Structure 1
Amino acid sequence: MNCFTRLSNEPAPLACDPCLAPYRDALAARTLRTAETARKLTGGRMSLADFASGHEYFGLHRDAAGWVFREWAPNATRIIVRGDFTNWEERPGFVMKSKPGGAWELRLPAEALRHGDHYLLSMEWEGGRGDRVPAYARCVVQDEATGLFSAVVYAPERPYAFRHPSPPAPAMPLVYESHVGMAQEEPKVGSFAEFRVKTLPRIAKAGYNTIQLMAVMGHPYYGSFGYHVANFFAVAGRFGTPDEFKELVDAAHGLGLRVIIDLVHSHATRNEVEGLGRYDGSRTAFFHAGARGEHAAWDSLLFDYAKPEVLHFLLSNCRYWLDEFRIDGFRFDGVTSMMYLHHGLGKTFTSYADYFGPDVDEDAVCYLGLANTVIHTVRPDAVTVAEDVSGMPGLAAPLGQPGGIGFDYRLAMGVTDMWFKLFDIPDENWPLGWMYHELCNRRRDERSISYAECHDQAIVGGKTAIFRLADAAMYDAMHVSSASLAVDRAVALHKMMRLATLASAGHGYLNFMGNEFGHPEWIDFPREGNHWSMMHARRLWSLAENPDLRYRFLAVFDRAMLETVKSRPEFTRCIPQLVRLDETAKILIFERDDLYFCFNFHPERSYFDYAFEVREGVFETVLDSDAPEFGGFARREPGQTYFTRNSRLSLYLPNRSALVLKRR
């Protein structure tokens, strides 16, 4: 098989992996379970996408008669809406009426509410009462003085009108993982508007085609990184309004950038007033009872995916973000935690039996299949990405195939683990065979997105890849005039690891904002432990813009390597083929499409006539990590052309450098 051998479009898990043969029936049962659950939910009277429209029924809406407000609170005995329009008093005209199935409804005349009014639900249940932010609230804000949250009537006279269509899905998603709040250089919480004006142009210029936005849904605690969601139908109010988020998405589309957001359906915050914890006085309205309903490691609550009302809520949430904000898909967070009762904690997946049996939450697996059905029905071009470390078979296989759960991509989480394990080993001892295996280790029936590092590696005390490589030299030797072997090594390996990851990636590539230029600091959100400082919850863009610092070289190289693959629409349909792996010389060469990626990882040895077999032809230089514009030592003549002799190519391969050649 040469590098032009194409992957079949959508091979089935069973056809690609004979080890799954003993689990044929279990895979088929999963597919059947998803189909049967869909039939039960819809009653055969509508599509699953139509069923997933709870946001159009529940919540606050305008209609011909004025306002209609509905919520689902099956354990409540009485609900009163109070807010600015009642002077925060409980008034008889704002008492909701109970309806079948645990729903509550209130109708009000048009003049009763105004855009910008704040409100809460005063909810009563057997033995208690409490204020609650509505579960379907579309706008939630926090009072700066009191710290309390409330819902907001969001009905501007001139709602935002989108101007730009979504760009077509790229052959290779190049994903820029971003956090709106920490995207500004100033030590403060950034806004949707600032991100739109300042950060979007940076991303487009850097060569990425997809933005993955973290922490978009309402979350009370800023330091949770957006993973303790309270308000599933509201944008995070600290960043701005729903219309400002729409304007951000629209502007991204205008720049040719698709937008996906983190979808956190794996758990929810325990918060009760502003969240779903004991929403109607009961812990089991949305969540499992007892220990099964609690994630001890995350201090959060776990959804009951077997409950039709919970499925209605979550599936409607999927559709809402597509309908309302025209986003282009989701990165599903914590999928491993969802699919297993042990949540993957302390678990090493060493046997196929780990993917089946009593440890698997089949209700959660079924939900993921239903969610993908809804998303791809509403938006056939939408992208779904699964964050899973377990390697669950069928996760990113099509829904119609036995065991197919329907994600478009899974994150290749083993790649970043591999790099950060290598950082603990002197690079002269890096095992290239293991490296190449991990770079290319993926299921043939699935598409995957690789990354050298994401936000995870730098959260609260962790270090980015460049910091792991350079360590203390980052503080005083990143100036272009500084002489530092540690920084020379770090800059060289940073370029090589990212190029190797991109070049071997299955079908997509991801980078966390700032890492493309070697952002030096960890991520630490304001908290009591750091005296509520914002100093590490921002991005120092000026480092990459300073001509006297080496960060700019990494940024320029990152853009150049992206352009190398972006210009090749068939790149991801071509399997990397190993040409040479020399553990002693620390040489790795592989072919993909008509490109040859040549790496010399040796810390000291350069090879002046390194020969290897290739097909006859003429080769030209596409990319040289050692070029001066990339902060290299210019040890090769730029733009060289190479000719084969007796089907062999001889190259000068300087130590700690990478060369990309193209066959003419």
Structure 2
Amino acid sequence: MVRDEPWLENFADKIWERHQGFKTALREIEEFSGNILEFSRIHEFYGVHFESWRNGWVYREWAPAAEQLYFFGDFNNWDRQSHPMKKSHRGDWEIFLPFDQYKNSFTHGSKVKVHVVGANGASDRIPAYIRRAVQDEKNHDFAGQLWFESKFEWTDQSYSPQDSLSQPLIYECHVGMAQESPKVGSYREFEENILPRIKEAGYNTIQLMAVMEHPYYGSFGYHISNFFASSSRFGTPEDLKSLVNKAHEMGIAVVMDIVHSHAIKNTNEGLNEFDGSDHQYFHAGPKGYHEGWDSKVFDYGKWEVKQFLLSNIRYWLEEFHFDGFRFDGVTSIMYQHHGLFMDFDNVDLYFDSQVDEQAIIYLKLANKLIHDFKKGSISIAEDVSGMPGLSRKIEDGGIGFDFRMAMGVPDFWIKTLKHKKDEEWDMFELWHELTNRPQNEKSITYAESHDQALVGDKTLAFRLMDKEMYFSMSVLEQNLVVDRGVALHKLIRMITFSLGGEGYLNFIGNEFGHPEWIDFPREGNDWSYQHARRQWSLADDPLLKYAQLNAWDQAMIQLATHDHVLSAPHARQLFLDPDKKIIAYERANLVFVFSFHPTESYSGFSVHVPKASSYQLILNSDDETFGGFNRIDSSIDYLVNEHQCIQLYIPSRTVQILRGTNKS
């Protein structure tokens, strides 16, 4: 890593110490469990399990500081005192329920809790390793639910996510808001109604948000209470398994948005103060509280916490056949300041005392586990800091992620659209923002994700066209604001996709310019679902320009699939003119020519090209199929002249993609 990145030479010792710390932690795990795969099976010990050799159920819980635990629920008429648990010297509590005695009361679907007596008093808690948690419709209280489902019949044995790993085309989606009806959508509805759309669109990976149980729907799934439970508001565990299985049958990988960066601070539903202390799963005192997110911060160096989190990773990979994870809030994990109010404008910040080295070790262990467990698994890091080596192999000194999110790109687009007139766009800045990434690390690029679409902000389409989207999106009328917005929407997404990374992400519905913003039901909007849904009918209507934007996105994804654009080396600049606002570059043996000029078109414009005898136009944004004005003749063969150039007609606000041929 240091050899490839000479600017890190002054920190070679730090990088080496970090690597040695990982090796030491891994060696301790291997000495204890044999290997990291065995170490990550603690969820098979804790929680509720049927032990056939004893013919009954056992419930175990790690709560070292607790004074007493009592197991209770439907099976004992919610008696908090009748079923005390026994404590071991390790701080594990256990109770055994014989089958013959409890077969009619300890049943599938019945509810349970654990009554914990500790230094903070007595409270009713949900078992930490519970596989399902449900909310009572009357009092809105959450409880654990026994789930003794029959074995799910998987049919995805022949599926491998290798293609997705080589060139991820990611469709980021939220099951609950995926339907057009103003309601909470289900896993089954997503499988039946949305997966076929994703398949038709050409994406090879879906990234599922809000899978882990969270008590507040409006948190977008980022305030987790029950780490081993799939959200019950969308359906049963079998429903989620069916969704994953169907996606695999369609050749689509399924990546889960995993939240190990923090946990909900609620004591009723979550892990906070579970055993009566403030330092069981989290750091004690202020260090264990995340001010920006009003949540709790894990103690990543603690043996039991590492085992809890690593087992959580294995559980989702093994039980639900997920193909990998997008790790939320990696910046928050890696730094004790959590990245709050930081610019990361000095390389020292990656190695100073504010870096949580134990958290770095945990992330390395997590990536080793992911890749050891399932060949072709995908791990993606959400990091705004630019930590060196984040998506480099562990053996090279890296942290081991396959990809990092290119989080600066959507910020650049928002800043540009908010603060610059079209004629002020800086082509050099645009090129720099989309190409300034580590040569030896892979990035997932995107123009916008769910972050940019949340209430208080605007989607790109809405930022470009605003209220005109309500009245002027018909293909039968022209509107200057809409014409500009449609043209720039296509250009922004194409240049981001083709120039900015080795993978591409789109948030559900944004590909066709979904209007407005995302706002989940809450008191402030009278608990409305109006903005927590996707209006697919807009894209399905051939008389609306949403359909044309949708067609453009499909053509773009098809281009990536056919020509392997994202798995190709970084783009090579062919031409850049800051005044004419033209950028041309080559990637994957294709030539991309962009004009961002708001008014001027150019005839006979010379563009230097790689060696080939002629070039054919294979895609252009001015095609009327994509809401363009048909100013470009797609039938022309462009012959290369003696200066290794082709002559193009380049209309304003267009992109043309050409492929070289050997035709004379």
TM-score range, shorter chain: over 0.9
Q: What is the alpha-carbon distance in structure 1 between the residues aligned to residue 299 and residue 251 of structure 2?
A: 38
Deviation at 1:644, TM superposition (A): 1.1
Aligned to 1:162: 154
Q: What is the alpha-carbon distance in structure 2 between the residues aligned to residue 280 and residue 408 of structure 1?
A: 37
Aligned to 1:52: 40
Q: What is the alpha-carbon distance in structure 2 between the residues aligned to residue 658 and residue 398 of structure 1?
A: 36
Moved more, 54-63 or 215-224: 54-63
TM, length-normalised to structure 1: 0.96
Q: What is the alpha-carbon distance in structure 1 between the residues aligned to residue 356 and residue 27 of structure 2?
A: 20
Q: What SS does the corresponding residue of 2:263 show, helix, strand or coil? A: coil
- Percent identity, aligned pairs only? 47
Do the aligned residues in 2 keep the contact of 1:53 with 1:319 (CA within 8 Å)?
yes
Q: What SS does the corresponding residue of 1:589 show, helix, strand or coil? A: strand
TM, length-normalised to structure 2: 0.96
Q: What is the alpha-carbon distance in structure 1 between the residues aligned to residue 628 and residue 194 of structure 2?
A: 28
Aligned to 1:103: 92
Aligned to 2:396: 401
2:76 counterpart of 1:80: no
Q: How many residues get paired? A: 649
Do the aligned residues in 2 keep the contact of 1:41 with 1:308 (CA within 8 Å)?
no
Deviation at 1:252, TM superposition (A): 0.6
Letter in 2 for 1:254: E
Deviation track 1:150-186 (CA, whole Å, cap 9, x = no partner) reads: 1111012x32111123333222100000000100111
Do the aligned residues in 2 keep the contact of 1:579 with 1:589 (CA within 8 Å)?
yes
Aligned to 2:4: 16
Aligned to 2:241: 246
Closer, same or farther: CA 126–413 of 1 in aligned 2, 3 Å: closer
What are structure 2's unaligned runs of at least 5 residues? none
Aligned to 1:10: none
Q: What is the alpha-carbon distance in structure 1 between the residues aligned to residue 384 and residue 340 of structure 2?
A: 11
In structure 1, which of residues 642, 645, 648 is the aligned counterpart of residue 645 of structure 2? 648
Do the aligned residues in 1 keep the contact of 2:503 with 2:566 (CA within 8 Å)?
no
What are structure 1's unaligned runs of at least 5 residues? 1-12
Deviation at 1:25, TM superposition (A): 0.5
Q: What is the alpha-carbon distance in structure 1 between the residues aligned to residue 193 and residue 490 of structure 2?
A: 26
Do the aligned residues in 1 keep the contact of 2:568 with 2:587 (CA within 8 Å)?
no
Deviation track 1:53-81 (CA, whole Å, cap 9, x = no partner) reads: 11111111112122111111111121111
In structure 2, which of residues 181, 185, 210 is the aligned counterpart of residue 215 of structure 1? 210
Q: What is the alpha-carbon distance in structure 2 between the residues aligned to residue 362 and residue 474 of structure 1?
A: 49
Letter in 2 for 1:588: I
Aligned to 1:145: 138
Q: What is the alpha-carbon distance in structure 2 between the residues aligned to residue 531 and residue 661 of structure 1?
A: 51
Q: What is the alpha-carbon distance in structure 1 between the residues aligned to residue 428 and residue 403 of structure 2?
A: 25
Moved more, 128-137 or 83-92: 83-92
Moved more, 273-282 or 120-129: 120-129
Q: Residues 600-611 of structure 1: matches in 2 within 5 Å?
A: 600-611=595-606
2:576 counterpart of 1:581: yes
Q: What is the alpha-carbon distance in structure 1 between the residues aligned to residue 88 and residue 303 of structure 2?
A: 17
Q: Residues 318-397 of structure 1: matches in 2 within 5 Å?
A: 318-397=313-392
Deviation track 1:87-111 (CA, whole Å, cap 9, x = no partner) reads: 112363x322112311111111225
Letter in 2 for 1:128: G
Q: What is the alpha-carbon distance in structure 1 between the residues aligned to residue 19 and residue 527 of structure 2?
A: 48
Deviation at 1:616, TM superposition (A): 3.8
Closer, same or farther: CA 29–127 of 1 in aligned 2, 3 Å: closer
Deviation track 1:523-548 (CA, whole Å, cap 9, x = no partner) reads: 01111111111111111111101122
Deviation at 1:570, TM superposition (A): 6.7
Do the aligned residues in 1 keep the contact of 2:161 with 2:323 (CA within 8 Å)?
no
Q: What SS does the corresponding residue of 2:90 show, helix, strand or coil? A: helix
What is the aligned-residue RMSD (CA, Å)?
1.2
Letter in 1 for 2:72: R
Q: Residues 218-237 of structure 1: matches in 2 within 5 Å?
A: 218-237=213-232
Q: What SS does the corresponding residue of 2:394 show, helix, strand or coil? A: coil
Moved more, 631-640 or 212-221: 631-640
Q: Residues 257-272 of structure 1: matches in 2 within 5 Å?
A: 257-272=252-267
Letter in 2 for 1:405: I
Aligned to 2:414: 420
Do the aligned residues in 2 keep the contact of 1:564 with 1:622 (CA within 8 Å)?
no
Moved more, 416-425 or 611-620: 611-620
Q: What is the alpha-carbon distance in structure 2 between the residues aligned to residue 376 and residue 423 of structure 1?
A: 40
Do the aligned residues in 2 keep the contact of 1:397 with 1:407 (CA within 8 Å)?
yes
> Which structure ranks higher in relative contact order (CA pairs < 8 Å, sequence separation ≥ 6)?
1
Moved more, 33-42 or 404-413: 33-42
Letter in 2 for 1:51: F
Do the aligned residues in 2 keep the contact of 1:517 with 1:551 (CA within 8 Å)?
yes
Deviation track 1:544-589 (CA, whole Å, cap 9, x = no partner) reads: 0112210000000000011112112475232200000001111000
Letter in 1 for 2:70: I
Do the aligned residues in 2 keep the contact of 1:173 with 1:509 (CA within 8 Å)?
yes
Q: What is the alpha-carbon distance in structure 2 between the residues aligned to residue 58 and residue 639 of structure 1?
A: 67
Aligned to 2:307: 312
2:429 counterpart of 1:434: yes
Q: What is the alpha-carbon distance in structure 1 between the residues aligned to residue 212 and residue 291 of structure 2?
A: 22
2:620 counterpart of 1:624: yes
Letter in 1 for 2:29: L
Do the aligned residues in 1 keep the contact of 2:458 with 2:516 (CA within 8 Å)?
yes
Q: What is the alpha-carbon distance in structure 2 between the residues aligned to residue 610 and residue 138 of structure 1?
A: 63
Closer, same or farther: CA 640–186 of 1 in aligned 2, 3 Å: same
Do the aligned residues in 2 keep the contact of 1:493 with 1:656 (CA within 8 Å)?
yes
Q: What SS does the corresponding residue of 1:423 show, helix, strand or coil? A: helix
Q: What SS does the corresponding residue of 2:575 show, helix, strand or coil? A: strand
Q: What is the alpha-carbon distance in structure 2 between the residues aligned to residue 45 and residue 86 of structure 1?
A: 37
Closer, same or farther: CA 126–602 of 1 in aligned 2, 3 Å: closer
Do the aligned residues in 2 keep the contact of 1:293 with 1:301 (CA within 8 Å)?
yes
Aligned to 2:126: 133
Q: What is the alpha-carbon distance in structure 2 between the residues aligned to residue 23 and residue 218 of structure 1?
A: 40
Q: What SS does the corresponding residue of 1:205 show, helix, strand or coil? A: helix
